[in-house]
Chains A and B, each alone.
Chain A
Amino acid sequence: MKYGMTGKILRIDLTDLTYAVEEPDEYIYRTYYGGSALACYYLLNECPKGTDPMGPDNLLIFASSPLVGSGIPGSNRYSVAAISPLSGIYGEAEAGGWWSPELKRAGYDAVLIKGKAEKPVYLWIHDGQVEIRNAGALWGKGTGDAQDIIKNDLGVKRVSVAAIGPAGENQVRFACVVNGLKHTNGRGGLGAVMGSKNLKAIAVRGKQSPDFHDKETLKRVIEWYANNFMDHPIERVLHDGGTIGWDVTELDEAGILPTYNFRSGSFEKADDICGETFHKQYFIEAGSCQGCVIRCKRVARSDGPYKVDPAYGGPEYETAAAFGSLCGVSDLEVVCKAHELCNKYTLDSISTGATIAFAMECFENGLLTAKDTDGLELKFGNQKAMVECIHKVANREGIGDLLAEGSRRASETIGGGAKKLAMHVKGQELAMHEPRGKGSLGLAYALSSTGANHTEGPHDYLFQEGALGVSDLPELGILEPVPAIELTPEKVRYFALMQLTWNVFNTLGLCIFTAGPGKLLKMNQVAQAVEAATGWNVTLWEIMKLAERTVTLKRAVSVLHGITRKDDCLPDRFFQPLEGGLLKGMALEQEVFEKSLDLYYDMRGWDRNTGIPTAGKLVELGLGWVNKLLGQQ
Chain B
Amino acid sequence: MSVTFQPKGLLKSFCREYLNGEEIIELNNKEGQTIEAVCLEIGLPLNMISLFVVNEKPKPKDYLLKNGDRVKCVAIIGGG
Contacts and interface: CB of A to CB of B under 8 A. Distances in A.
B72 interface: yes
B45 A454 contact: no
Interface string B51-80: 101001010010000000000101111111
B32 interface: no
A250 B13 contact: no
A243 B13 CA distance: 15
A458 B76 CA distance: 11
Nearest to B48: A233
Contacts of B14: 233
A317 B53 CA distance: 23
Interface in B38-55: 45-51, 53
B8 A317 contact: no
Given A243-B79, A513-B80, A254 B10 contact: no
B50 A467 contact: yes
Contact of A250 (B58, B74, B80): B74
Contacts of A348: none
Given A240-B13, A484-B50, A250 B79 contact: no
Nearest to A242: B80
Interface in A298-320: 316-318
A118 to B, nearest CB: 39
A243 B79 CA distance: 6
A237 interface: yes
B67 to A, nearest CB: 23
B17 to A, nearest CB: 16
B21 interface: no
A298 to B, nearest CB: 11
A253 B79 contact: no
Contact of B76 (A432, A454, A461, A513): A461
Contacts of A458: 78
A406 interface: no
B45 to A, nearest CB: 4
Contact of B10 (A253, A256, A275, A484): A275
A253 B8 contact: yes
A250 B78 contact: no
Contact of A459 (B8, B61, B78): B78
A254 B50 CA distance: 9
B47 A247 contact: no
A250 B75 contact: yes
A276 B78 CA distance: 17
A234 B75 CA distance: 10
Interface in B1-57: 8-10, 13-14, 45-51, 53, 56
A317 B61 CA distance: 27
B53 A237 contact: no
A275 B50 contact: no
Interface in A235-294: 236-237, 240-241, 243, 245-251, 253-254, 256, 274-276
Nearest to B58: A582
B79 A249 contact: no
Interface residues on A, range: 35 or more
Contacts of A296: 80
Nearest to A321: B79
B51 A317 contact: no
A237 B80 contact: no
B46 A582 contact: no
Nearest to B77: A246
A317 B74 CA distance: 16
Contacts of A461: 50-51, 76-78
Interface in A425-481: 431-433, 454-455, 458-459, 461-462, 464, 466-468
Contacts of A512: 80
Nearest to A458: B78
Contacts of B58: 582
A253 B77 contact: no
A277 to B, nearest CB: 11
B10 A241 contact: yes
Contacts of A245: 9-10
A254 B47 contact: no
Contact of B51 (A253, A276, A462, A513): A253
Nearest to B49: A466
Given A233-B45, A249-B9, A317 B50 contact: no
A326 B9 CA distance: 20
Contacts of A454: 78-79
Contact of B8 (A234, A250, A431): A250
A274 B9 CA distance: 8
B9 A246 contact: yes
Contact of A246 (B45, B46, B72, B75): B75
B48 A250 contact: no
A186 to B, nearest CB: 10
Contact of B74 (A234, A236, A253, A432): A253
A317 B80 CA distance: 7
Contacts of B8: 249-250, 253
Contacts of B47: 233, 466-468
A552 to B, nearest CB: 24
Contacts of B51: 253-254, 461
Nearest to B44: A233
21 contacts: A237-B10, A241-B9, A247-B76, A248-B9, A250-B8, A250-B74, A250-B77, A254-B50, A254-B51, A254-B74, A256-B76, A274-B9, A317-B79, A318-B80, A455-B80, A458-B78, A459-B77, A462-B77, A466-B49, A484-B50, A484-B76
Given A461-B51, A461-B78, A484-B76, 19 more contacts: A233-B14, A233-B48, A237-B10, A241-B9, A246-B9, A249-B9, A250-B8, A250-B9, A250-B75, A254-B50, A254-B74, A317-B79, A431-B79, A433-B78, A454-B78, A459-B76, A466-B49, A467-B48, A467-B50
